[in-house]
Homo-oligomer: A and B are copies of this chain.
Amino acid sequence: MPKSRPRNAFYAQSGGVTAVINASACGVIETARKHKNKIAKVYAGRHGIVGALYEDLIDTTKESASAIRALRHTPSGAFGSARYKLKKYDDNPAEYERLIEVFKAHDIGYFFFNGGGDSADTCWKVSQLAEKMGYPIQAVHVPKTVDNDLPITDCCPGFGSVAKYVAVSIREAGFDVASMAKTSTKVFIMEVMGRHAGWIAAAGGLAAEKEGDSPHIILFPEVQLDEEKFLARVKFCVEKYGYCTIVVSEGIKNADGKFLADAGLRDAFGHAQLGGVAPVIAQMVKSKLNYKYHWAVADYLQRAARHIASKTDVDQAYAMGKAAVDLAIKGHNAVMPTIKRVSDKPYKWQVSMAPLEKVANVEKMLPRDYITADGFHITAKARKYLAPLIKGEDYPPYKDGLPQYVVLKNAPVRKKLTTDFKL
């Protein structure tokens, strides 16, 4: 471990962005700036890891303290993110050789990678460079994913805010439909993210605090859709409450195990129409029950909605960024800071740590006992877990009615290599 002289750090954002990933960036950079004896400069990858391969680095020292502070309330990835997964070393050693070439040229001694499961795998691979290729580097993963599917950590930064967005939105839409149902829309369907796990859909359930509250039904990817049972439940709700509100995960599957979103719509030419399970469910309700319906697809709005971010989530995202730097400075490699729940009521959490080897490529699924026996809602156990994650508001500053999000200068670091790289 280099103790004598400060080295530079590389920070990159990876995978789908969130409302709070920049809060983690803020935590990394602000903390690094306090330890100049260890970390000289933080360079960010323009478009994530791709920026490292292209030697397209951003010099974060060119950003003012207030610009970095503003990252805390700015959604999306301020340096650009990427969906790009490093191959296995044996399948593409050229990628790793290139990384080392670039890192060496810019004296990168710290690698902070901010992403989900795939990214943890990339980070783990980089952490092995020291041993495998004799290049001294410490790699620390900063957890981030709206999918909430990283293992070991109690929750993932990014999830709490999308959870809050979904719960707030279905509550509001539920109030709307309740007031119109007598003469108009009786069934409302809101599609949310979560292709593999129902964490986000489950969060919608928080809005239902007592019998009859929205949402009345949640459709999880974990529960195969039983059309008959589902329609019977819709009918029951309309007859009992006057209307029915539904949160549906984009990942739900039909009896054949196929994604409903893929099985459904075609354009006028008969081509399969990608995405959109809400209209498929709406059509089902319309054709079998003939209720008037409306549907919404939140898509990116849900994960970008910094305006309604969870304060808990923002705090945790920042804490993970800060902890990553603290861990690196203490000499750790191949680790990820985690959130450890200390108590539910009052909610208390602290920062802990996990070895990356146990994080990479492991998906944390929604436990079956978080879903009610009938498959249509969340249990008290789920509620206990989810509730604290949406707690607190953390509004961004506004000007003329619009949130003021920062756009960084993103000044490039002068290239030192004459070699090119092609992905």
Contacts and interface: CB of A to CB of B under 8 A. Distances in A.
Given A271-B283, A395-B393, A296 B299 contact: yes
Main secondary structure of the interface of A (DSSP, over half): mixed
Interface in A11-58: 13, 16-17, 19, 47-48, 50
Interface string A300-324: 1101111110101000000000000
Contacts of A6: none
A180 B402 contact: no
A47 B266 CA distance: 38
Contact of A17 (B179, B267, B307): B179
Contacts of A178: 76, 80
Nearest to A299: B296
Contacts of A273: 265, 279, 283
Interface residues of A, number: 87
Interface stretch (A115-123, A165-173, A357-365, A372-380): A165-173
A179 B402 contact: no
A177 B300 contact: yes
Contacts of A303: 176
Contacts of A393: 395, 398, 401
A38 to B, nearest CB: 28
A180 B77 contact: yes
Given A75-B176, A391-B400, A391-B401, 11 more contacts: A47-B183, A169-B304, A172-B307, A176-B300, A176-B304, A271-B283, A274-B286, A275-B294, A295-B299, A298-B298, A395-B395
